[in-house]
Structure formats: C-alpha cells, structure tokens
Structure 1
Amino acid sequence: MPGAALRPSFWRDPRLAFAVKWIASVIQIAGYAATAFGVTPLNLYLFLGGVVGWLAMGILWNDRAIMLIHLVALGAMLAGMASG
C-alpha cells in the first residue's frame, strides 16, 4: 500500500503516548493522595496502576531508564504486597 511506511503504527502514535502518560500520572497522583489520607489498600492498587502505565511508556519510547525504574518499583510493590 503506497504511503503505508509514512503512517505511524498504532503503538507509535503520539496520541497513545500522550494518553498513557497522563492517565498513569493521574492514577499515581491519586495513589499519593490515598496514602496521605490513609486509604489503604487502595493506595497500593493506584500506585500499581501508575507504575504499570509508566512501564508501558518506557516500552513505547524504548527508554531503558524508565523501564528499569518502573520494573524495579513493580517488583518491589508486588513483593511487598505478597508478603503483607
């Protein structure tokens, strides 16, 4: 198909990246607020959603630093949730 190489794939669409990063950020901020008001365990699930969203952003952007930070955070959160 002519011009197909010029169109970004779904995963490279800047609108997808914009939506994922802002949704993940809002979820993570909600996790901070839930922690501040002592709303547990909801705060952990909100943080989990934010971390997974930012891990997805690291993968979309092929940014190893973002991937590393959020993989470590995800592992620590899952280990803490499993032990507690």
Structure 2
Amino acid sequence: MACEATNIIETGRTAFAVKWVASFMQIMGYAATGFGLTPWNLYLFLVGVLGWLMVGVLWNDRALVLVHLVAFGSMLVGMASQ
C-alpha cells in the first residue's frame, strides 16, 4: 500500500513539472509567433503539445490526450506539407 502511495506522489510530481515546462514552451511558441520567428515557433509548440499529451496520459485524462494528440498530428501534417 505504501509503495502505491509513493507511485501516486511521484506521478503527481512528474505531471506538475511537465505541465509547467510544457506551458512555458507554449507561451514561448506564442511569443515566437508574435515576433515572426518561424519555424522556431512550431518547434516550441511541438514540445508544449507533447508535454501536455504526456500530462494527459499521466492523469489518465482522455480529453487532454485527445486534444493534444489531434494537435500534434495536425502540426506534423502541416509541417510535412511545407
């Protein structure tokens, strides 16, 4: 039982760190877009989207996983078509 609680705490800490890094990366992606820094904005957004996808998996949150999986796929298709 104690091991299970430890795993939950570690998962929570991991999710906390990843969501803040991912949020920061997405904010930097918005800033890069505002300053016309292409393609750096896309790379920053990709890191942010993948981070939030990982948080959705850690939290077992299907809505977060779905939104960020679709966003990731859309970004890859858009980048490949350029």
Deviation at 1:47, TM superposition (A): 0.3
**Aligned counterpart, 1:7:** 6
- CA gap of 1:6–1:71, structure 2 versus 1, over 3 A, is closer
Q: Give the greater-gyration-radius structure (CA).
A: 1
**Aligned counterpart, 1:69:** 67
Structure with more helix by fraction:
2
TM-score between the two structures when normalised by the length of structure 1 = 0.89
SS state at 1:39 partner: coil
**Aligned counterpart, 1:25:** 23
Deviation at 1:17, TM superposition (A): 1.0
Q: Deviations over 1:11-34 (max 9, x none)?
A: 62x211110000000000000000
Structure 2: segments with no counterpart, 5+ residues: none
Structure 1: segments with no counterpart, 5+ residues: none
**Aligned counterpart, 2:47:** 49
What RMSD over aligned residues (CA atoms) do the two structures have, in Å? 1.7
Q: Is the CA contact (8 Å cut-off) linking 1:11 and 1:60 kept in structure 2?
A: no
**Does structure 1 residue 83 correspond to structure 2 residue 78?**
no
